[in-house]
Amino acid sequence: MSRWKCGVEGCGGRFEDVESVIIHQTTEHERHECKVCGTIVPEGYFAIRHAFDEHTRAEFVRAYEADSTAVRIREDVKSTVEKEANLNNVVQTLREQGAL
Ligand SMILES: [Zn+2]
Ligand SMILES: [Zn+2]
């Protein structure tokens, strides 16, 4: 069974490992425009990381009309990915593919 699901709205993609999910989100989904600052970022994990590293929770909630549950879900995703994924490998793979 595939443990990891993509999680992007409308996508049912499932993957064996978390690195594959991030690569999928970055290469196969439309880019996401940050609603706080307008920066174009990859969809999925990188969009979440951008939102929470670059902006405050309050800015995120205001711009996305999000509630505390939505914030908590994204914080959980971010910390799980950062615990499980070899992000250096992911970033290197994506750079080699010209996706970042
Ligand atoms: Zn997907
Ligand atoms: Zn932003």
What are 26-38's pLDDT values in tens digits?
999 999 999 999 9
The model carries a pTM of 0.93
Phi, psi of 75 (to 5 degrees): -65, -35
Question: What pLDDT is attached to residue 2?
Answer: 81
Residue bearing tokens 């690195």: 19
Question: Which ligand is closest to the CA of 13, given by its number?
Answer: 1
How far from the centroid of its chain's Cα atoms is residue 78's Cα? Answer: 7
71/3 Cα distance (integer angstroms): 22
Question: What pLDDT is attached to residue 19?
Answer: 97
What are 1-21's pLDDT values in tens digits?
688 999 999 999 999 999 999
CA of 3 to the centre of ligand 1 (A): 14
Question: What pLDDT is attached to residue 1?
Answer: 66
Three-state secondary structure call for residue 39: coil
Exposure of 83 in the CB half-sphere (CA atoms within 13 A): 6
Question: Which ligand is closest to the CA of 15, given by its number?
Answer: 1
CA of 37 to the centre of ligand 2 (A): 4
Q: Note residues around ion ligand 1 (Cβ under 5 angstroms).
A: 6, 8, 11, 13
Among candidate residues 38, 3, 35, 15, the one with its CA nearest the CA of residue 90: 15
